[in-house]
């Protein structure tokens, strides 16, 4: 099966001993319905203005071509759930040669009129447990919205256009790396590591505040979102179709083969929709300019280019909703936190103060400094898990490797169970290790992998010893060779 039908092989492996942490949870669909309905209810006295942008944008408003449709169809993934129209991606892909003339007319009619089919505006929210927190509380579940596959094909075409437009006009700041082509998590991990090292070489401390937004995507203020999208130069037909798509969206909750009644979604962008990452990035894109206009200093680095000394100021790093603010002293960090608090109030962003932490890199001992955000004190920590890698205040990764080792060890025990139940041959065992354990061990290794790797290598040796049926203390040189 491994070679003849690899998809079925991996499906069987993933389903075996699959841990459903919510199966015994004291939670039902009514609790999810009440929670989701309240979360998506917006009762602000302000009314959403009606936008009808008549100005044309030659790049965004051009006719949707058959080539664009074919490209997006090729990118569709199989085994995805269908929306309320019950159309699945496999059907779209297998019939594209027959239906592409119809899609061509249909999609251009939607783009020109701005009218979206009603079935595209109805979604089913599937709660996915986050693997942390009380599984009996709805807030510890990630609400993934299942939408029409045909509707997502259309929005993928619009999303490709918008991303090309944004890249061509350099609309997004370089501090944004989430869901962008040619950007990765390691970019921000390296940036944070480089800033730490630079200030340490200057014998300065680096003050970082790691912001934790509460329900960032679900609580986006749409009036503010449309204002920022228009200010970015995204106007005309593309804007109208996106705006109209969000005017009458509804959702139901699907949990354990039960479906609730529908309710209106008056706030936020939908998780699982193609356009949501870019819309959220545009919503936060003016943060740097706001901080600069409010006398924030950030941190300043120096570099030479063509024998000329250049200065670069860095205020923040953004990876989707993972945000970190920078300063080089206590006073500047408090100024930045005050400005950031004003920004959050202005654009109705909710911050989870209890999970927002400050780390002073390069410091020794306990700090007497105090920091506050939105009139609440922030906790000063010795380390923080940023994008999966633990950064310690001593500018080392002493805590990163033990955490990775612990995660890999838990995954390895699950792998042992799968191997035992299926009685897998050695070549399959090695392949499973490379595909399930190795990515955990190497997460962020570009940043922390220059020190002692013996804690990480222990997991590898342990796995090989298990295959060879020898004791854990058996010399590793014999195990590897």
Which among 246, 279, 283 is positioned nearest to 265, based on CA atoms?
246
Facing residues of 316 across strands? 325
Look at residue 421 in the predicted model and tell me its pLDDT: 84
Residue pair 233/171 in contact (Cβ under 8 Å)? The answer is: yes
Per-residue model confidence (pLDDT) at position 389: 92
List alpha helices for 305-399, DSSP H: 330-346
Question: CA nearest 381: which of 299, 369, 389, 444?
Answer: 369
**Please, what are the averages of pLDDT over each run of 10 residues along the chain (481 residues)?**
62 58 73 93 64 68 96 94 93 96 98 94 92 88 93 97 95 92 92 92 94 94 96 94 93 92 94 93 96 94 73 92 96 97 97 96 86 96 94 86 91 89 87 92 89 85 87 67 56
Give residue 450's pLDDT: 83
Residues in the chain: 481
Q: What is the pLDDT of residue 64?
A: 97
Distance between CA atoms of 452 and 79, rounded to whole angstroms? 42
What is residue 45's three-state secondary structure? Answer: coil
Give the pLDDT score at 364: 81
């Amino acid at each position: 099966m491994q070679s003849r039908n690899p998809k079925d092989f991996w499906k069987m492996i993933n389903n075996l001993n699959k841990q459903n942490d919510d199966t015994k949870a004291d939670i039902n669909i009514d609790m999810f319905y009440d929670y989701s309905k309240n979360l998506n209810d917006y009762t602000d006295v302000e009314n959403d203005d009606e936008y009808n942008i008549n100005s044309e944008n030659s790049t965004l408003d051009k006719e949707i071509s058959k080539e664009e449709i074919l490209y997006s169809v090729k990118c569709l993934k199989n085994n995805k759930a269908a929306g309320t129209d019950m159309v699945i991606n496999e059907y779209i892909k297998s019939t594209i040669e027959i239906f592409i003339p119809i899609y061509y007319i249909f999609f251009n009619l939607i783009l020109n009129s701005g009218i979206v089919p009603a079935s595209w505006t109805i979604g089913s929210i599937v709660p996915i447990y986050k693997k942390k927190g009380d599984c009996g509380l709805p807030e510890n579940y990630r609400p993934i919205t299942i939408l029409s596959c045909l509707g997502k094909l259309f929005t993928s075409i619009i999303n490709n256009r918008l991303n090309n437009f944004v890249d061509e006009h350099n609309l997004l700041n370089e501090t944004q790396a989430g869901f962008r082509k040619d950007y990765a998590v390691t970019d921000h991990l390296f940036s944070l590591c480089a800033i730490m090292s630079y200030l340490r070489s200057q014998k300065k401390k680096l003050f970082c505040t790691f912001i934790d937004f509460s329900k960032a995507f679900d609580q986006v203020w749409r009036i503010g979102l449309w204002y920022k999208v228009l200010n970015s130069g995204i106007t005309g037909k593309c804007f109208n179709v996106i705006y109209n798509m969000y005017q009458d969206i509804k959702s139901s909750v699907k949990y354990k083969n039960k479906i609730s009644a529908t309710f209106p979604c008056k706030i936020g962008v939908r998780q699982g929709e193609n356009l949501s990452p870019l819309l959220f990035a545009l919503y936060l894109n003016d943060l740097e300019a706001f901080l600069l206009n409010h006398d924030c200093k950030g941190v300043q680095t120096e570099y030479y280019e063509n024998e000329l000394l250049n200065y670069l100021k860095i205020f923040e790093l953004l990876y989707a909703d993972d945000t970190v603010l920078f300063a080089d002293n206590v006073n500047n960090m408090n100024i930045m936190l005050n400005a950031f608090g004003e920004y959050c109030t202005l654009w109705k962003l909710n911050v989870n103060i209890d999970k927002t932490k400050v780390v002073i890199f390069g410091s020794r001992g306990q700090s007497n400094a105090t920091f506050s955000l939105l009139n609440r004190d922030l906790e000063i920590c010795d380390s923080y898990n940023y994008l999966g890698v633990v950064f310690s205040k001593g500018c080392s990764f002493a805590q990163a490797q033990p955490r990775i080792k612990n995660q890999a060890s838990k995954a390895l025990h699950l792998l042992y169970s799968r191997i035992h139940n299926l009685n897998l041959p050695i070549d399959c065992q090695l392949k499973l290790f490379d595909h399930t354990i190795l990515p955990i061990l190497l997460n962020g290794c570009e940043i922390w992998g220059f020190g002692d790797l013996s804690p990480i290598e222990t997991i590898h040796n342990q796995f090989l010893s298990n295959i060879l049926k020898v004791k854990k203390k058996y010399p590793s040189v014999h195990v590897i060779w």
